[in-house]
């Protein structure tokens, strides 16, 4: 029987005030409903904000080390339940079970890392101009923060917002993406079991325009951290900052891999397949442009096509599957439209391009891994985020042209170069406009102990993860103490 889940407000599981619900569907088999969730409205978000506001004083007074201990206990609970969390993730989002296990393990690392941050939430002492004066800074939580997350990393992204927000002493309202709420709910359950006081963390599912927008509008919400598309993120940033709130928006990418004439081509192909095809290309850091030196373009293309031809597409629960479905019918339609656009723009379709509808793909949102050749840097498929297993090959005569093509997009999230020349690698690091820079490694991936985020329209400038993550979730108070 399909389970019905509830919101979590003020420490209690509760249905949406209006009683509305919606179905969370398995994209690998759309006849399966993974769970039924509240389709909440602004009134539910307001109740969650009120509960978070009421819990502020108690949570702040607990102190960062004790808050960190709760995160640490949550990490152990997620570890204990990892297999069922990963399976639920695959069922609702579609990525392979191996990828879902990796993402769940990442959430454990995030909670462990920020548990430690509870004992390091440091300010600074500085010499003062005045005698007998102690001059120092302390970190204060913002208050109530709203966290709005996408479906593509439904455990890692809620975790990498929740952990720094909570350890810094904020109380939280989390609104997960409607396509993948179950995984985020499991994290909320883990934190509740770990002993988080009622109201410190609230969880409300429902449409972004209703629940999310209330979080961005409500004057009690001091900060909003959003990850998702740049269309929604730029609107949220303007709206929150206009009312004096603090906003952090992490958005899309159009991430290139430059393949130079001195690259190890087998490795370059593996890097491009990893970046473009794993997680069905549904990563903000996914590789969507291979910018290839003309001297090796022919050989690179043949090797890439051979690699892509061998990929197994299917249900992520099947251990043989390498590429799962797109998250839903809407995303499938978007990807197929982009493929059609690429054809019409004059790019050469070298592999894939079609919806898959034969078993084991007959009941889901599957598309063939797709490769375009003869891509011009100005084409829409070379400029816009597609968010599917689609890569375009752009041929260039040399390094300077490669850099100029790589930088010639609105986005600046992640970028890679494949080369055996250290001088070129370092020049790439200097000149590339991206917040995440890879040399001889895929554009994807994020270690928890270092900052993550983009430049240009990919981000509003702050960084998540690593020690700087707490900067967004805290205010600095400067203290002059004369004795």
Chain residues that interact with ligand NAD, rule: CB under 6 A: 148-153, 175, 177-178, 208-209, 212-213, 216, 227-229, 232, 236, 250-253, 284, 385, 387, 413, 454, 458
Of 272, 277, 267, nearest in space to 370 by CA: 277
In whole angstroms, give the CA distance from residue 268 to residue 259: 7
235 HSE (CA, 13 A, CB side):
9
Phi, psi (degrees; rounded to nearest 5) at 220: -75, -15
Whether 448 and 110 have beta carbons less than 8 Å apart is answered as yes
In whole angstroms, give the CA distance from residue 95 to residue 92: 9
Q: Is 284 a catalytic residue?
A: yes
Closest to ligand NAD by CB, 297 or 413: 413
Conformational region of residue 466, where left means phi above 0, alpha means psi within -120 to 50, and beta covers everything else: left
Closest to ligand NAD by CB, 292 or 434: 434
Closest to ligand NAD by CB, 178 or 370: 178
Q: Which two tokens stand for residue 76?
A: 């152990």
The single residue of 92, 93, 250, 464 carrying the catalytic annotation is 250
Whether 314 and 415 have beta carbons less than 8 Å apart is answered as no
Report in angstroms how near the CB of residue 230 gets to ligand NAD at its nearest. 7
The single residue of 284, 361, 385, 433 carrying the catalytic annotation is 284
Closest to ligand NAD by CB, 188 or 263: 188
In whole angstroms, give the CA distance from residue 416 to residue 271: 9
Report in angstroms how near the CB of residue 227 gets to ligand NAD at its nearest. 5
Closest to ligand NAD by CB, 118 or 281: 281
Q: Is 249 a catalytic residue?
A: no
Closest to ligand NAD by CB, 79 or 384: 384
Of 142, 125, 123, nearest in space to 134 by CA: 125
Closest to ligand NAD by CB, 161 or 293: 161
Report in angstroms how near the CB of residue 257 gets to ligand NAD at its nearest. 17
Report in angstroms how near the CB of residue 205 gets to ligand NAD at its nearest. 9
Closest to ligand NAD by CB, 216 or 315: 216
Of 183, 193, 184, nearest in space to 84 by CA: 183
Report in angstroms how near the CB of residue 63 gets to ligand NAD at its nearest. 30
Residues with active-site annotation? 250, 284
């Amino acid at each position: 029987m399909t389970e019905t889940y509830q919101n979590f407000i003020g420490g209690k599981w509760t249905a949406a005030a209006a009683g509305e619900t919606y179905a969370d569907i398995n994209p690998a088999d759309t006849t399966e409903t993974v769970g039924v969730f509240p389709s909440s409205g602004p009134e539910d978000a307001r109740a969650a904000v009120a509960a978070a506001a009421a819990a502020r004083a108690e949570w702040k007074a607990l102190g960062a080390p004790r808050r960190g201990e709760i995160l640490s206990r949550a990490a152990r609970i997620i570890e204990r339940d990892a297999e069922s969390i990963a399976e639920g993730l695959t069922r609702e989002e579609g990525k392979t079970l191996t990828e879902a296990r990796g993402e769940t393990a990442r959430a454990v690392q995030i909670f462990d890392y920020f548990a430690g941050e509870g004992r390091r939430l440091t300010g600074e002492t500085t010499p003062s101009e005045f005698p007998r004066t102690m001059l120092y800074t302390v970190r204060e939580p913002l208050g109530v923060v709203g966290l709005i997350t996408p479906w593509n990393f439904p455990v890692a992204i809620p975790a990498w917002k929740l952990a720094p927000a909570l350890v810094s002493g904020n109380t939280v309202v989390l609104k997960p993406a409607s396509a993948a709420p179950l995984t985020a709910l499991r994290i909320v359950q883990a934190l509740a079991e770990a002993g988080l006081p009622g109201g410190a963390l609230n969880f409300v599912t429902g449409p972004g325009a209703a629940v999310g927008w209330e979080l961005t509008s409500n004057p009690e919400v001091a900060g909003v951290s959003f990850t998702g598309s740049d269309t929604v993120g730029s609107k949220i940033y303007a709206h929150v900052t206009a009312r004096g709130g603090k906003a952090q928006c992490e958005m899309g990418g159009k991430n290139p891999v430059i393949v130079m004439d001195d690259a190890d081509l087998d490795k370059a192909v593996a890097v491009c397949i990893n970046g473009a095809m794993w997680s069905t290309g549904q990563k903000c850091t996914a590789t969507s442009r291979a910018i290839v030196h003309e001297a090796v373009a022919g050989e690179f293309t043949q090797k890439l096509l051979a690699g892509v031809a061998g990929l197994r597409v299917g249900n992520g629960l099947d251990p043989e599957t390498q590429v799962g479905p797109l998250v839903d019918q809407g995303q499938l339609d978007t990807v197929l439209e982009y493929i059609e656009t690429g054809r019409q723009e004059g790019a050469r379709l070298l592999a894939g391009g079609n919806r898959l509808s034969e078993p084991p793909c007959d009941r889901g949102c599957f598309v063939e891994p797709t490769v375009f050749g003869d891509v011009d840097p100005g084409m829409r498929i070379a400029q816009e985020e597609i968010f599917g297993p689609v890569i375009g090959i752009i041929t260039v005569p040399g390094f300077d042209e490669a850099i100029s093509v790589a930088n010639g997009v609105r986005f600046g999230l992640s970028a890679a170069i494949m080369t055996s020349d250290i001088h070129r690698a370092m020049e790439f690091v200097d000149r590339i406009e991206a917040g995440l820079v890879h040399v001889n490694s895929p554009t994807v991936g994020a270690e928890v102990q270092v900052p993550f985020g983009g430049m240009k329209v990919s981000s509003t400038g702050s960084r998540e993860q690593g020690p700087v993550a707490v900067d967004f979730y805290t205010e600095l108070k400067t203290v002059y103490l004369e004795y």
